[in-house]
């Protein structure tokens, strides 16, 4: 039984190694653009990156915008209700 377990572990290790090599090869082909037909009208990545760099350098540096907040208006002075007619009276500050 132990020999069979050892063989099964060895086989699993081989399958894992083959899967890793297959994954690596698949990714290499994908990044090389060989998995699907390529459109000859597409812009090459090197030209795209050069164009992006040029656009970023040509753009003006962004300036921090000043706050557009205005001064808050002063709050109304404190008041109190006086008398039977409930008139409000301004309190001295």
* 4 inside domain: yes
Cβ(89)–Cβ(80) below 8 Å: yes
* Candidate ranges 26-30, 40-44, 85-89; pick with highest mean pLDDT: 26-30
Cβ(80)–Cβ(91) below 8 Å: yes
Report the number of distinct structural domains present in the chain.
1
Q: Is the pLDDT of residue 14 over 70?
A: yes
- Residue 8, CB-side half-sphere exposure with 13 Å CA sphere: 5
Query: 89 phi and psi, to 5 degrees?
Result: -120, 135
pLDDT of the residue at 69: 60
pLDDT digits (tens, 9 = 90+) for 59-87: 877 666 666 666 666 666 666 766 666 66
DSSP state of 41: T
* 83 inside domain: no
Of all residues in the chain, the percent with pLDDT exceeding 90 is 28
pLDDT of the residue at 18: 94
Rounded Cα gap, residues 76 and 88, in angstroms: 12
**Residue 10's domain spans which residues?**
1-36
Cβ(90)–Cβ(77) below 8 Å: yes
* 52 inside domain: no
Query: pTM of the predicted model, to two decimals?
Result: 0.39
* 14 inside domain: yes
């Amino acid at each position: 039984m132990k020999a069979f377990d050892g063989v099964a572990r060895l086989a699993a290790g081989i399958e894992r190694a083959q899967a890793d090599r297959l994954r690596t090869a698949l990714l290499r082909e994908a990044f090389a653009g060989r998995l699907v037909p390529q459109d000859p009208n597409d812009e090459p990545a090197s030209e795209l990156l050069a164009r992006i760099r040029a656009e970023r350098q040509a753009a003006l540096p962004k300036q921090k915008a000043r706050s557009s907040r205005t001064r808050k208006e002063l709050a109304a002075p404190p008041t109190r209700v006086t008398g039977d007619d409930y008139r409000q009276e301004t309190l001295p500050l």
